[in-house]
Amino acid sequence: MKYILAIDQGTHASRALLLDLHGRIVSRSGSRKIALLRPAPGRVEQDAEEIVQSVRDAIDEALQPLPARERARLFACGLATQRSTVVAWKKDGTALSPAINWQDTRGSELTGQLTPKAAADIRRRSGLPLSPHYGASKLNWLMKRVTKPDETLAGPLASFLLYRLTEHRCYCVDHSNAQRMQLLDLHTLDWSVELSKHFGVPLEWLPQCRPVVSTYGMLAGYRIPITAVCGDQNAAWSGGGEADTDTAMINLGSGAFILADLPETAGEQQLLTSIAWSSSKQCRFLLEGTVNGAGNALSWFRDHYRIRDLEHKLPQWLQTTVSPPLFVNTIGGLGSPWWQSGPQAGFINDHGKFSLAEQAAGIVESIVFLLQHNLERIRACRPIQRLRVSGGLSQLDSLCQKLSDLSNTPVERSDDAETSARGIAWLAAGQPAKWQNDRPKQQFQPADNEALRNRYRTFTTHLRQRLATRDDG
């Protein structure tokens, strides 16, 4: 028996899994939590050293049940990381900055100064709309604050982790994470001179670009070759092995991401073009929609009202609320297809007359509404016959059923939340044909729900009106 080590470094935690060549989990670590810091408005950071340690602890825990004589059977390792997060560090590996999180918008001053012509060029080359959520403006911010730029290394979190975790300090990054820097040309799959000029980030400051499936060196201390590196959402696309082209995958975490196969790089203009995976011979692309306020929106609600055990109360609250109030969900800004900060988050009617249960249900329903807007855009490009959901919020039956009702599409919820880890393991193992697909834990079939559709239409009308008023003002 041969084994693959999968490392999944996400926004809130790191974990590691040991799998066999059929995709069966042999052992797994617990979630190694990582603090998320908000030192000022628009700033979201994590301790880069804490992230490294969390990964090492997760690896040790996942490998602990494997007898020493079996360690030689570990033939591949894959690393999946949170995207659009950046770090600066010394050549000895010591972090010089916090990990500036993907939710951070400190680069908004730079992005706001770029012209519409520049924004269009950035969109065409990178596949991404101009946004401070991506890495380029954050790297520009870091460059201006490090004392010795010529002696500093910087890049996506994936490149920092590779530098710290490999024996010979690999200073490189995969195509999928490089693209979220908004400095990669999708057509050449390499750093772009033109994009670097737009953002004022010199190419020599960036790690080498490599395919997702590539040789990255040996995992220090374990002598396991790292054979694939990928963004966590991109890796989740491959969680069940070769993905179906008529299926959209939705991962519901702090943010929500909806992914669908894209045969070519020319996608829908208001959505993202992402890289599912790449090798030395080919590159597979995805159409991607983003909802910033998913788990983040519920965290905002929990913190605002200081609600204890919200996750335990939510299922009952959702079940008993028939007609929730409408919530303008701009927590973290409006993602696709609007790409702007949006009006202030809040309920369309005075929330004071609604119970906490009704307000929570309204926030959950707003996540469904924003996903539906993205799904409609995706369906303009390709047919979608099925939705597969994963992530923490996918455990809410009410959310899944409403998503099925509103989209008029069957929803399947996988029985294992480890889709990113499974996906990076499949890629690292060489994409074996006999990979064990997740069996649906539960299927949600669309039902006639005219009241939900009416609320969606009202939500859309109010959001458009508020955006128009904000633009006029």
At 44 the three-state DSSP class reads strand
pLDDT of residue 178: 98
pLDDT of residue 71: 85
At 142 the three-state DSSP class reads helix
pLDDT of residue 241: 87
Are 442 and 413 in contact by the 8 Å Cβ rule? The answer is: yes
- Give the residue ranges of DSSP H helices in 90-173: 108-113, 116-126, 135-143, 157-165
pLDDT tens digit sequence for 186-207: 999 999 999 999 999 999 999 9
pLDDT of residue 438: 52
pLDDT tens digit sequence for 291-315: 999 999 999 999 999 998 999 999 9
Residues in the chain, total: 473
pLDDT of residue 469: 81
Token look-up 């991962």 returns 251
pLDDT of residue 351: 63
Cα 444 to Cα 398: distance, rounded to the nearest angstrom: 10
Cα 448 to Cα 456: distance, rounded to the nearest angstrom: 14
pLDDT of residue 149: 77
pLDDT of residue 268: 65
**Amino acid at site 429:** A
pLDDT tens digit sequence for 360-413: 999 999 999 999 999 999 998 889 999 999 888 999 999 999 999 999 999 998
**Amino acid at site 241:** G
Region for residue 155 given its phi and psi (left: phi exceeds 0; alpha: psi -120 to 50; beta: otherwise): left
Residues of the chain with pLDDT under 50: 473
Residues 6+ away with beta carbon under 8 Å from 399: 252, 318, 364, 367, 368, 393
pLDDT of residue 103: 87
pLDDT of residue 12: 87
**What does the mean pLDDT of the chain come to?**
92
Are 128 and 111 in contact by the 8 Å Cβ rule? The answer is: no
The single-letter DSSP state of residue 324 is P
User: Omega before 67 cis (within 30°)?
Assistant: no
Cα 210 to Cα 395: distance, rounded to the nearest angstrom: 36
Are 381 and 287 in contact by the 8 Å Cβ rule? The answer is: yes
Beta carbons within 10 angstroms of residue 471's beta carbon: 8
Report the sign of the C-alpha dihedral through residues 202, 206, 208, 209, in that order: negative
